[in-house]
Chain A
Amino acid sequence: MSTISTALRNFKEPTKEQLTQIFFSLPSVGSLDGTEKTLDQHVEKMDINAVLSFGVQGVEDSYAGKLHIIAPYLAFTSLDKKSVRFTIPLSTIRRVERLNARAGIYALSLSTWHGMKIIVQLTSLRPTADQFCALLRDALKIELQRGQMKLVKGFVKTCYSEALVSETSTVADNEREDGSLISEEKENAAPRESTYHGGLGLRFKFPGDPKKLREASKIKLWATYLRAHGRNLTLLRYPQCTRLVQVGLPNRLRGEMWETLSGSMYLRFSNPGFYEDLLKKNEGRTSTSTEDIEKDLHRSLPEYAGYQSEEGISALRRVLQAYSFKNPELGYCQAMNILAAAILIYMSEEQAFWLLEVLCDRLLPGYYAPSMHGTLLDQRVFESLVQRCLPIIHDHFQVVDVQLSVASLPWFLSLFVYQQYANDICISDSRLLLLHGTQGVIPSRTRSVCSSIIYEPSPSFHSWPAILKINGEKLLQIQDDGGFLNLMRDYFASLGDSAHPNSTDPRARAITRFQELLLVSFREFSVITDDMILSERRRFRSEIINSIESFSKRSAIRNLKTLGRFTKEQAGLIYDALYMAMCILPPPGPVNPPPTLLTPHDGTEEKPETRIELSTFQYFLSEIATWARNEKIVMNGFQQRIDREIAEHEFIDRLFFFWDTSCRGALSFQDLVSGLDGVMFNDLMENIEWFFNLHDKNKDGFLTKDEVLTLSESFLFIFRYEVGDAYLGAVSRFMTNAFEYGDALLPTAEDADPNSERAHDGQGPEPTSPHFIESNQPYLNLATFRMVVLADEVLESFFETDLSGSFRLEPVPDAELPVSPSGLLGDLWSTIATDSNKKMFNMFTDEIGKTIGKHQVINRPSIGRYTKLEEPKARESLLTPSMRKSSSKASLTGSSTAASTATLAPSSSSTLTVDTKGQPAKDLPQLPSSESLSPMVQAVNARLMERTPFAIDDAKDDEDESDDEIDANDNDDRVMDEVDAFLEAHDSGLTDADKEVANDLLHAEPLK
């Protein structure tokens, strides 16, 4: 019982465009539904060099940077990517003017909804600037048509900053220039109070002592900034903004600032009503995620008053559920509850939902995924950063075998909003709640939730090295994981304490450990850039993926109910083949099993289990069974390769349903293992029975005539690429005999109406004419089938060894991981060496090969008993040398009577063994003696030439020719193989020139 996920393989490095989008916190294109995707596919994008000046002279410096238009957003970043940046939706731009400035200067003045005016001077060449302006104009027009402009007003009202600014300022009007807009706003001033979104904190109080936190002065500072620099959608982030964030966000404003800075606001803005609709659509739906969520609802910040009330709990439930509905694959992971609970104190449900989306998707990529690969990856990255930045600590940890992640992982997962419970539960008051980001980690203690924003891709990477550094000396004393954990726990518990309690300077004493931590994070570890982290992630990704995959492989194998007769290694090979198949043909999403209704369980729920469908199964089987693939050996002058295709045949479908014992229309890993177990270890008799059962659809112990024909076709399918006509002859003999004995035995085997049976008694074998009325009536039983099979040496040997042997567990060539080659060359190579390019290269060489006459295509036989043509690996044959000789002779001399007599001789003894085993072969004591058969065989062979074509016929047509040519060389198997190869090649349409080449080969080979 396990799920197998190939999601990790699908990882793609973000493109440069995506990185830009991430940088500006823009919602990823088409993230919500398909329709939007197609619309936005041709999003207009352009960037241009520009100098940004603030509309009000003297308030801010001018900054050079890049202006991006990524419809429907306009974004700017200064050259250092740090000082200044903004991302504003185009719909909030109210006016764009081309400034009449001095010659040679191309400047635009932009006015936003909030009346801010910014001036961008486009410093690129004039045509570029013109193009940019045109683009901007068009994009603005589109926004107007879409009606987005009208939405701004309503949306802005949901933001607290509006209330804040109007509350605290009576002089606001003076600072604005666009009178009309403001009067509009004023009208709505009264109800505004109640319209803005807020979190539970508004009702249940925010954690912490507002006085201690100096809320009032923070509010004042922020109000001033927001008034001048825009707010919510139109916020311009100047250096002062970063400083204010570091000082701390006032509680009431925090939710909105999180939203703005993380970019989740843009999601909320562009998807109005999405959250409510989502909840409504999925009302009452349950899943494993919702169950897990229920378990944790009461365990999320339980000390906070809001979560002791139904109001808080149900808000938390809705947000988490909505997230799991939107992202069913990720669903719900413990730690998200704590995060969401913390967020909900400051934000409304809708805001929290979108922030959670941004957090899980972008800021903590893969952290909460079922495999938690993001967490594991970042732990690895973190370790490597420590190795680089704090080598002494790293080395010490290596020596005492302490794993960093033991302590860091929980905090990475919960963004520090987590209280590791302690021995001394009495100090649980000192819950740490530090939502933080690279740009600012703000002190908090004793529920004084005070935190900053989350707007960098890697929130934990600065503070952790700082934590380690501050505790450096103690860490060097650590001897084991436990000591490390305890040290960390105690450190976190003491964050609110003074960093220098013994200092004489009262100001130094006032510095808390938290502030010290901040200082160290910013001062010393700001060298850790996002780029660095991204490249480290790239470096370790495949390592992490490999270890996760091998872990899930091991647990999948361990979770098998039975291994059958396989060893673990063999089961591993089956798993690999399955995994490979799933990578190439992924099964449809998690199967919610409706068939559970059919299979009543003893109170235990079915765990989600990965099952594959027919198409994936076909691929899987083609990896394992030689006859389930069409292999063409292609030789042109340049290369020799094997083109492999998945074969499709009813036989494979039949096998699929045969193995689907629980009738779900999909196979699990266990089904595959059991299925293979049912055939790979069989001896002769078991194989015959297996094959019989496979074709006995209704499991009544009888094949109908139709089924006999189907079975014959299965034979022909399996043998379709065999060289020589031995198999074909065998199949035709089989049909002859099957119908003959079937008819003969019918009355005793089954009391079917005798008249129809009589009617055909004398008619003789007519293998290709399913003309009986009772063609779907029980006809052939296992004993007869067995007898018929054993009458033929070729079929016997097929069932004895070849059938089981055609299932081969071979190591699957390593599926290509999302390799992350570093550097330009690697990138180049990965873009060149795509599959399609390889295909093109192959086609190209084929064409050349054809023109120079060196192109050959050979179908690789599935069994290959009668040829060793192009066999990549030596395969032991169970035939004795003498038998081998005779059988290869058989293939050479084909349908000649003498040969078949010789080869069929042993088969009579086989039937004898059947008899001794007590088979009820009363009617035919030693009937299938070779002598009596051979004329019949000849007859059938003659008939075969005329019958309706089977797949194998193409191969067949050349046999006569081959016989003639081969006679000369029949003493050397090797040479014969070459001939066969040649003939096969000839079969697929060789020119005379090809023939010549082949003939050369033929004569050249023995010399080697």
Chain B
Amino acid sequence: MSDSASGSVDKSVQVKLVLLGEAAVGKSSVVLRFVSNEFQANKEPTIGAAFLTQKCRLEDRVLRYEIWDTAGQERFHSLAPMYYRNAQAAVVVYDITKATSLEKAKSWVKELQRQANPNIVIALAGNKLDLVQPSALSTGAASSSESEDEADDATATPGETPGSSGEPESLRQVPREEAQAYATEAGLLFFETSAKTGEGIVDIFTEIAKKIPIEHILAATRGTARPGAAGSRADGARQEGGVNLEENAAKSKDACNC
């Protein structure tokens, strides 16, 4: 254990996690849901990458996720290695209402398996589950050719309620079974999620936490233990958000224990 260092971070194990996937599939929303338990309909596209942290309790361990949320557009691809180097976990997100996004996810998985840390734990997440659930308010409007995010927006707009509740399943382009089969074959964790409703989000991170070879990480980090005062200022600067973190940590703790 890196005693002195982790003393301030209460014995947490740091896990570097990277999010990858096609543009506008909801990577940032997934993170935002996990980190702040919030949802924003129109999030600005991520440029370059964003960085967030969140703690997650698993049994007697505290994991501190360092989450790198990357840009999805194809041309940012060449920057990705900068972010997934040394990552211990990856969440590859696709949009269940868009078949091409699964193809892109597969190519990300392929790249990770060849280029990234060999022990990396990869989870595949099919996002936007709310769009195909009949219980959702109304998702008919989303069948327009508009993008998914606009679709989200449309669901929130009260004026538009053309579709009946039976309709939504047709929006689904990626059958759960197909993605599940692929994930099993490629050795990935698999989830269908909705960043909007929060469904399945925490599960991703919990399952990753379970699967991660924590001892391995500890062994690896022991060598490069932080000096005592390290990052104290940075932590101080982070305080404002820290409050949020605590709440969520509690939430995710519950989820983790179940």
Contacts and interface: CB of A to CB of B under 8 A. Distances in A.
Interface stretch (A296-304, A714-722, A765-773, A817-825): A296-304
Given A421-B28, A424-B241, A410 B23 contact: no
A604 B173 CA distance: 10
Interface string B44-88: 111111111100000000000010000111111111011100000
Contacts, number: 155
A707 to B, nearest CB: 41
Interface stretch (B146-154, B192-200, B207-215): B146-154
Contact of A334 (B76, B146, B233): B76
Nearest to B78: A551
Interface of B: 23-24, 28, 32, 35-36, 38, 40, 42-53, 66, 71-79, 81-83, 99-100, 103, 107, 110-111, 114-115, 146-150, 153, 173, 226, 229-234, 237-238, 240-242, 244-245
- Residue picked from B42, B49, B99, B111, most chain A C-beta under 10 Å: B42
B44 A555 contact: no
Interface stretch (A198-206, A222-230, A476-484, A521-529): A476-484
A298 B100 contact: no
A744 interface: no
B114 A295 contact: no
B245 A603 contact: no
B100 to A, nearest CB: 6
Given A295-B23, A423-B244, A406 B49 contact: yes
Contact of A425 (B32, B71, B72, B173): B32
Contacts of B53: 423, 482
A558 interface: yes
A689 B111 CA distance: 37
A422 B229 CA distance: 24
B100 A604 contact: yes
Interface in A343-384: 368-372, 376
Contacts of A424: 36, 240-241, 244
- Residue picked from A405, A482, A487, most chain B C-beta under 10 Å: A482
A302 B100 contact: no
Interface in A278-313: 292, 294-302
A292 B23 contact: yes
22 contacts: A295-B24, A295-B147, A299-B42, A334-B23, A334-B72, A334-B76, A335-B47, A372-B76, A376-B78, A410-B49, A413-B48, A421-B43, A421-B44, A422-B241, A423-B36, A423-B53, A423-B241, A425-B32, A474-B233, A477-B233, A486-B238, A552-B78
B129 to A, nearest CB: 19
B75 A333 contact: yes
Contacts of B114: 558
A478 B231 contact: yes
A474 B232 CA distance: 10
Interface string A547-582: 010011001001100000000000000000000000
- Residue picked from A294, A299, A370, most chain B C-beta under 10 Å: A299
A160 B176 CA distance: 57
Given A295-B149, A425-B38, A486-B51, A371 B231 contact: no
A477 B235 CA distance: 11
Contacts of B52: 423
B45 A485 contact: no
Contacts of A238: none
Given A295-B23, A421-B44, A478-B234, 6 more contacts: A292-B23, A295-B45, A295-B149, A299-B149, A338-B45, A490-B238
A553 to B, nearest CB: 12
B45 A334 contact: yes
B114 to A, nearest CB: 6
A542 interface: no
A372 B75 CA distance: 7
Given A294-B147, A334-B23, A413 B244 contact: no
Interface of A: 292, 294-302, 333-335, 337-338, 368-372, 376, 403, 405-406, 409-410, 413-414, 418-425, 427, 474, 477-483, 485-487, 490, 548, 551-552, 555, 558-559, 603-605
A605 B100 contact: yes
Contacts of A477: 229-234
A337 B75 contact: no
A422 B237 CA distance: 12
Contacts of A298: 42, 147, 149-150, 153
B79 A409 contact: yes
A300 B44 contact: yes
B179 to A, nearest CB: 14
Q: Please name the 4 residue pairs, one residue from A and one from B, whose CB atoms are nearest each other, closest first.
A: A423-B241, A410-B48, A302-B42, A483-B234
Contacts of B44: 299-302, 338, 418-419, 421
A603 B231 CA distance: 49
A405 B82 contact: yes
A604 B72 CA distance: 18
Given A421-B32, A603-B173, A486 B76 contact: no
Contact of A423 (B23, B45, B146, B238): B238
Nearest to A288: B74
A140 B86 CA distance: 64
A555 B45 contact: no
Contacts of A419: 44
B73 A334 contact: yes
B99 A604 contact: yes
Contacts of B32: 421, 425
B230 to A, nearest CB: 5
B224 to A, nearest CB: 9
Contacts of A302: 42-44
A477 B111 CA distance: 34
B119 to A, nearest CB: 20
Given A482-B51, A603-B99, A370 B233 contact: no
Nearest to B36: A425
A371 B42 contact: no
A895 B132 CA distance: 80
A481 B48 CA distance: 13
Nearest to A370: B75
Contacts of B78: 371-372, 376, 548, 551-552
A227 B44 CA distance: 41
B99 to A, nearest CB: 5
A299 B234 contact: no
A487 B40 CA distance: 24
Contacts of B24: 295-296, 299
Given A486-B237, A604-B103, A481 B47 contact: no
A207 to B, nearest CB: 15
Given A299-B42, A552-B78, A605-B100, A427 B51 contact: no
Contacts of B103: 604
A479 B227 CA distance: 9
A485 B79 contact: no
Contacts of B81: 551
A558 B110 contact: yes
A572 B244 CA distance: 49
Given A334-B76, A370-B75, A558-B111, A487 B234 contact: yes
Nearest to B245: A423
A419 B38 CA distance: 17
Nearest to B54: A423
Nearest to B243: A424
A422 B150 CA distance: 22
Contacts of B245: 423
B40 A425 contact: yes
Nearest to B45: A334
Contacts of A425: 32, 36, 38, 40
A552 B111 CA distance: 13
A302 B43 CA distance: 8
A333 B76 CA distance: 9
A481 B51 contact: yes
A770 to B, nearest CB: 50
Contacts of A552: 78
Contact of B82 (A300, A403, A413): A403
